[in-house]
C-alpha cells in the first residue's frame, strides 16, 4: 500500500480542511500531519480505496476514509487521541 498521491488527496480535501482546524496539528506536507515533532497521521491508497494511519499510543492504527461515515469515525478517533495529548 502506497502513500496517497495528490489525486487521491484531492478526494479527501473536505477531510483535510477539517483536520487543519485542530489546534496543535501541523500539516508539514499535504496530507501528513504532526503533533509537536511526532508524525500523527497520514494517508494511503490501495487501488481506489483510501485509508488514514493514525498514531494511537506508540502504534499506528489504520482507518478507511472512503465514505462520509468512515471519515466521521476517523475524526472521532483523532479527537480522542488529541485529548490524550492534552488538547
Read off the pLDDT of residues 13-59 as tens digits, 9 standing for 90 and up.
999 999 999 999 999 999 999 999 999 999 999 999 999 999 998 99
To the nearest 10 degrees (0 to 180), the angle between helices 68-84 and 13-20 is 20
State whether the Cα torsion 36-39-40-41 is positive or negative. positive
Q: What is the pLDDT of residues 61-84, one digit of tens each?
A: 999 999 999 999 999 999 999 998
Band (87; pLDDT cuts 50, 70, 90)? low
Listed by start position, the domains of the chain span 2-84
Measure the CA angle with vertex 28, ends 23 and 29; round to 5°: 125
Nearest one of 44, 39, 38, 60 to 9, comparing CA atoms: 44
pTM for the full model?
0.93
Say yes or no to pLDDT of 5 above 80: yes
pLDDT at 20: 97
Amino acid at each position: 500500500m502506497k502513500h496517497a498521491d495528490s489525486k487521491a488527496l484531492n478526494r479527501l480535501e473536505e477531510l483535510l480542511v477539517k483536520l487543519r482546524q485542530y489546534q496543535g496539528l501541523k500539516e508539514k506536507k499535504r496530507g501528513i500531519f504532526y503533533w509537536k515533532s511526532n508524525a500523527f497521521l497520514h494517508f494511503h491508497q490501495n487501488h481506489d480505496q483510501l485509508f488514514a494511519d493514525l498514531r494511537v499510543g506508540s502504534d499506528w492504527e489504520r482507518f478507511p476514509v472512503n465514505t462520509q461515515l468512515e471519515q466521521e469515525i476517523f475524526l472521532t478517533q483523532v479527537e480522542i487521541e488529541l485529548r490524550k495529548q492534552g488538547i
